Amino acid sequence: MEPLAKTWASARELSMKYIRATIRLFALCGITAGYYLSWLMGLPFVSPFPEVARNWRRRNFGGWARACARVVGMKINAYNSPPAAPFLLVSNHLSYVDIVVLESQVDCAFIAKSEVASWPILGFICRTLNTIFIDRRKKRDVLRAMAKAAATLNRGLGVVLFAEGTSTAGHMVSPFKSSLLEFPARRHIPVHYASISYVVPSDEALAEQSVCWWEDVTFPAHVFRLLQLPEFEANLVFGPQPILADDRHVLAAELWAAVSAQFAPVVQS
């Protein structure tokens, strides 16, 4: 009877995880729709006033990020003072969850791969929230993205660049690509940096699989896997001082070294 009891307990636990994930998924959809519609409805009234518009965006996008973190059971531990907008910030990249972590702390737009723009619903939302899309395979598109990033800074927003170019399993920080660091190097713009890491309970799926999104797993499948976690922690460490260099290769190397020095590999608690 003991093996049967263990099987029943395991099945019940799995069922509870599926129920938890389903409830959270509906909650996230409701939160996203609510904050996005709130932002849209206020947009005609705040658009003529740039400072008010930025505050309205921050209130809604930041509020959305913090609400999402609560729903998925993510505790965000932030260390050191975040930069004040406008800023250019470089970070390692582990998951789509990184966006929630960073947006909960700073007012920013993200540089994202061009594929995200075609995602159903989320792609449309990202396009309307100042996301800068880029196809790194095309040099002309890199130049366009650089110009848009500069314009975003001029409007008073922060810009976040995941300089590894893709998300990773969280074992280490991959070398930073230097192409998009040409414009801060050329214009003598100091670049801030941060590192992100995650910790999950010891009896749950490995953090590199349940939180980090790097395997050949579809976005919906991975989201449902993440939502099954009862809780997890995100550790966000801001660098104490920005880095300035006139050469993009030197800038990329120094930023990579700084992020790597404070990065903690993803672990189980």
Strand ranges for the chain from DSSP E: 74-79, 88-91, 108-113, 132-134, 158-162, 192-200, 232-238, 267-268
How far out from the chain centre does Cα 85 lie? 17
Using one digit for the tens of pLDDT, what is the confidence trace for 58-108?
999 999 999 999 999 999 999 999 999 999 999 999 999 999 999 999 999
Residues 6+ apart with CB under 8 A from 218: none
Give the pLDDT mean for 34-39. Answer: 95
Please state the three-class secondary structure of 161-215 as a single string: EECCCCCCCCCCCCCCCCHHHHHHHHCCCCEEEEEEEEEECCCCCCHHHHCCCCC
What is the percent of the chain where pLDDT is above 70?
95
Per the CB < 8 A criterion, the answer to whether 114 and 135 are in contact is yes
Integer Cα distance of 108 and 98 in angstroms: 12
pLDDT of residue 8: 54
Per the CB < 8 A criterion, the answer to whether 110 and 131 are in contact is yes
How far out from the chain centre does Cα 177 lie? 18
Per the CB < 8 A criterion, the answer to whether 239 and 90 are in contact is no
pLDDT of residue 2: 58
Give the pLDDT mean for 210-226. Answer: 94
Per the CB < 8 A criterion, the answer to whether 129 and 80 are in contact is no
Among 64, 71, 49, residue whose Cα is nearest residue 99: 64
pTM score: 0.92
The more confident residue out of 141 and 33 is 33
Integer Cα distance of 87 and 150 in angstroms: 10
The more confident residue out of 101 and 113 is 101
The least confident of 7-11, 57-61, 212-216 is 7-11
Reported as a pLDDT band with limits 50, 70 and 90, residue 113 is confident
pLDDT of residue 65: 95
Per the CB < 8 A criterion, the answer to whether 88 and 149 are in contact is yes
The more confident residue out of 218 and 140 is 218
